[in-house]
Every structure is written in C-alpha cells, then in structure tokens.
Amino acid sequence: MRTVIQRVSEASVIVDGRTIASIGRGILVLAAFRTGDTAQDLDWMARKCLDLRIFEDEAGKMNLSVMDTDGEVLVVSQFTLYGNCRKGRRPAYTDSAPGPEALRLYREFVDNISSKWPKTAEGEFGAMMEVKLVNDGPVTLIVDREM
C-alpha cells in the first residue's frame, strides 16, 4: 500500500460538477493498493496516517497529529500512485490491485480509518474526481507499506 499525505487547510472532491466531500483543516490521503495488501497493511497505514505528527504545537514544532488537533481526514483512491514510469513514456500500472480487489481494499481502509477517527470523509472509488486542496505548509509525505 502507498499513500500521499498532505496537510491541508481545506480540501474537497467534486464528481460530475457536485461536491461529494469536503473538509477543513486536516489531512488529504491519496491511497493506492496493490495485489497482496493485507488487513495488517491497511491497519498499519491507517494508524500511520492518523498518528503522524505533522501539525505544529504552541512552539511551532511539528509535534501534533491530525487527531491531536481535532482535524479532519479526506481519503481519495488513486491507483496511479503505483504507476511505473521507468521504461517508455506511458506509465505501467501492473503493480496496482485490479478494480474489484482495489475496491475491497479501499472500503476496508476507509472503514479502518473512520473507526479510529470519525471525522473522515471520502472520494468516490473509480470516479473521475476533481480534487481541490489548499496544502498547508506545504507538507506532503509519501508513505509506503512494504510487503
């Protein structure tokens, strides 16, 4: 599993011209899944997203998590995070989990995060989404869960 986590002051997802999810201050989690990802991988990543200390404390040091700051979480599925660009000019997505498996993993991941932190919103799996965000910092992290 791979995520890109962005600290945001706001973020939203638009599908077919209508906003389906939006958050204020918190994190945007772009999530990709590969064949073989397990429940343990999903739980590890959910905990990592929620526990990362990427928000400033009173001293200005990144020492607080999204939960410490009572922030919100927006999860968006993005299979292109496993795009392999090493050869040629067209990314290969052979490492991405196929649709039905990716949907199952995505649902399990969102359920895992929201069971730990109810201030969780999500995009629409498989849809063409317009993701708008204001990156705060900017703070952007790539987190991989090795098999």
Number of alpha helices (DSSP H) and beta strands (DSSP E) in the chain = 2, 8
- In the chain, the amino acid numbered 11 is A
- Check 80, 94, 109, 140 and give the catalytic one: 80
- From the list 33, 78, 109, 120, the catalytic residue is 78
**3-class secondary structure per residue, 38-68:** CHHHHHHHHHHHHHCCCEECCCCCEEECCCC
Q: Is 55 a catalytic residue?
A: no
Does 79 qualify as catalytic in the annotation?
yes
Selecting among 6, 33, 55, 79, the annotated active-site residue is 79
Please, what sign has the CA dihedral across residues 108, 112, 118, 121?
negative
Residues designated catalytic: 78-80
